C-alpha cells in the first residue's frame, strides 16, 4: 500500500483495518494468511511471539483446527494457568493438561477428570498403574519394577490371617492367635508354632518308677491350631514343681495333628512328692504341606 504524502509516495502499513496474505481478512481475523508455512525469525538474537489478553478471565491461546473445526487449544483459557484442551467435535471441550503457577503443579486429566498431579513435594495418582515397569503378579520379583499393594507387604498386611494357593502366600506374613487351648503363630511359609503353660494342682508324683517316681496320667491338651499333619512335628516339654525343684515330663505316644500326644503323659520326680507342678510345651510343624 502506497500513500502520497508531502509530495512523495510512501509505504504505509500502520493501523490497517485488515491484511490478507494469499487470503482475505475479516473483522474477526484481521490478519489472514494462506500458505504452506509461516516464518518468524530473529533480528540479531531472540524472537518471541506474544499473545496478550485483556484480563485474567479472558483467553489468550492457540487454536488448532481440522476443516475449520477446533480440536485442540493451548494457552491461558479463562485464568492464568497454562492449559491444553481437546475436543472430538469442536463443541465439547476437556482440559487434558494444566500447569498452575500459583500451586506450582502439573496435572493431567486425559478424560476430563484429574488423574495425576505433580508438585514439588508430592506426586498424586488417581488411576490404577500397569505396564512393563509394574509388578505383574505376586511372584514377580523383577528388579526395578513398582510393587503393587495386592502383591507387596507392609505395616497394613504384615500381620493378619495367613493363606496360600499352590504354595504361594495370598494372605499376611504372620498370624498370631490364642484360645482356651493356648497360643499359636503361623508364618506365610507354612511354619506353625503352638505353645501353652499349665499348672497341675496338688499333683501326686508318688508311684515308684525305677529309682524315680511318676505321677498318674496327665490329660494331653489339644493344640490351639491344628497342624496339617503329625509328620515332622517336633515337641519340647519343660516342667518344675512349685518349689522350683526340677521335674520331667514323659510321653509314651506321639503327637497327632490336633493334640499333644496319643499316649499317656506323666510327670517324673527324683523323690516322692505331692505339690503343684507347672509345665509347658512348644510344638513346631506346618499348617500346610
Residues 147, 118 contacting (CB under 8 angstroms)? no
pLDDT at 203: 96
Q: What is the pLDDT of residue 153?
A: 85
> What local confidence, expressed as pLDDT, does residue 227 receive?
97
Buried b (16+ CB within 10 A) or exposed e, 14-53: eeeeeeeeeeebeeeeeeeeeeeeeeeeeeeeeeeeeeee
Assigned CATH class of 175-286? mainly beta
Its pTM stands at: 0.63
**What counts of helices (H) and strands (E) characterise the chain?**
0, 21
Exposed, middle or buried: residue 97 (CB in 10 Å: 0-12, 13-18, 19+)?
A: middle
Residue extents of the structural domains in the chain: 1-36, 56-127, 175-286
Tens of pLDDT along the chain (289 residues) come to 666 667 777 677 777 788 899 999 999 999 999 999 999 999 999 999 999 999 999 999 999 999 999 999 999 999 999 999 999 999 999 999 999 999 999 999 988 889 999 999 999 999 989 999 999 988 898 999 999 888 888 888 899 999 999 888 889 999 999 999 999 999 999 999 999 999 999 999 999 999 999 999 999 999 999 999 999 999 999 999 998 888 999 988 889 999 998 888 999 999 999 999 999 999 999 999 8
User: What is the pLDDT at residue 111?
Assistant: 84
Amino acid at each position: 500500500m502506497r500513500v502520497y504524502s508531502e509530495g512523495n509516495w510512501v509505504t504505509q502499513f500502520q493501523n490497517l483495518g485488515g491484511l490478507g496474505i494469499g487470503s482475505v481478512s475479516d473483522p474477526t481475523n484481521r490478519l489472514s494468511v494462506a500458505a504452506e508455512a509461516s516464518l518468524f525469525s530473529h533480528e540479531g538474537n531472540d524472537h518471541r511471539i506474544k499473545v496478550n489478553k485483556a484480563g485474567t478471565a479472558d483467553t489468550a491461546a492457540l487454536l488448532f483446527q481440522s476443516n475449520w473445526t477446533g480440536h485442540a487449544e493451548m494457552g491461558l483459557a479463562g485464568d492464568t494457568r497454562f492449559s491444553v484442551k481437546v475436543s472430538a467435535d469442536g463443541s465439547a471441550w476437556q482440559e487434558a493438561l494444566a500447569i498452575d503457577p500459583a500451586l506450582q503443579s502439573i496435572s493431567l486429566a486425559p478424560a476430563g477428570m484429574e488423574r495425576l498431579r505433580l508438585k514439588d513435594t508430592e506426586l498424586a495418582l488417581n488411576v490404577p498403574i500397569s505396564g512393563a515397569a509394574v509388578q505383574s503378579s505376586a511372584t514377580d520379583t523383577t528388579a526395578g519394577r513398582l510393587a503393587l499393594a495386592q502383591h507387596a507387604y507392609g505395616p497394613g498386611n504384615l500381620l493378619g490371617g495367613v493363606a496360600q494357593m499352590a504354595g504361594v502366600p495370598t494372605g499376611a506374613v504372620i498370624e498370631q492367635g490364642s484360645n482356651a487351648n493356648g497360643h499359636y503363630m503361623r508364618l506365610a511359609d507354612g511354619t506353625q508354632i503352638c505353645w501353652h503353660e499349665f499348672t497341675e494342682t496338688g499333683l501326686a508324683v508318688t508311684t515308684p518308677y525305677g529309682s524315680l517316681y511318676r505321677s498318674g496320667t496327665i490329660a494331653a491338651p489339644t493344640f490351639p491350631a491344628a497342624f496339617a499333619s503329625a509328620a515332622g512335628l517336633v515337641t519340647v516339654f519343660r516342667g518344675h514343681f512349685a518349689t522350683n525343684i526340677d521335674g520331667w515330663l514323659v510321653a509314651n505316644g506321639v503327637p497327632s495333628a490336633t493334640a499333644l500326644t496319643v499316649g499317656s503323659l506323666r510327670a517324673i520326680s527324683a523323690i516322692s512328692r505331692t505339690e503343684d507342678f507347672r509345665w509347658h510345651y512348644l510344638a513346631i510343624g506346618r499348617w500346610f504341606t
